[in-house]
Amino acid sequence: MASIVGTIPKPVRMDSHGVLRVGNTRVSLDSVVYGFNRGEDAAEIQRNFDALSLAEVHAAIAYYLHNKAEVEQYLDEQKLSRKRFAPESSATSLHGSRAKCF
């Protein structure tokens, strides 16, 4: 009887900015989780992010489901971080736009 030997790649990694990414792609775990929580199935999520394989989407969803409390806390922290950064970003881009107009 032949034995099957293989490994499953690490589904999620943290990049240098503290963002969780799926596999070796730039797709954030946030994006996959938000799609999943909107009711999208794995195939639909994969179609939306062509950098991901279907297996990577399934692995990311499994990671989320197995670590739901931790991932939800991470997502909350990401939202707060974006809210803190957004006003600065908007003011800078608005100022930059005005400068270009004049």
Q: What integer pLDDT is reported at residue 6 of this predicted model? A: 85
Residue 64 burial by CB count (10 A; 0-12/13-18/19+): exposed, middle or buried? buried
Q: If you average pLDDT over every residue of the chain, what do you get?
A: 87
pLDDT digits (tens, 9 = 90+) for 40-64: 999 999 999 999 999 999 999 999 9
Distance (Å, whole) CA 2 – CA 12: 31
Residue 60 burial by CB count (10 A; 0-12/13-18/19+): exposed, middle or buried? buried
Give yes or no for residue 9 having a pLDDT over 50: yes
pTM score: 0.77
Give yes or no for residue 96 having a pLDDT over 70: no
CATH of 12-89, one of 1.10.10.10, 1.10.3720.10, 3.40.718.10, 2.40.50.140: 1.10.10.10
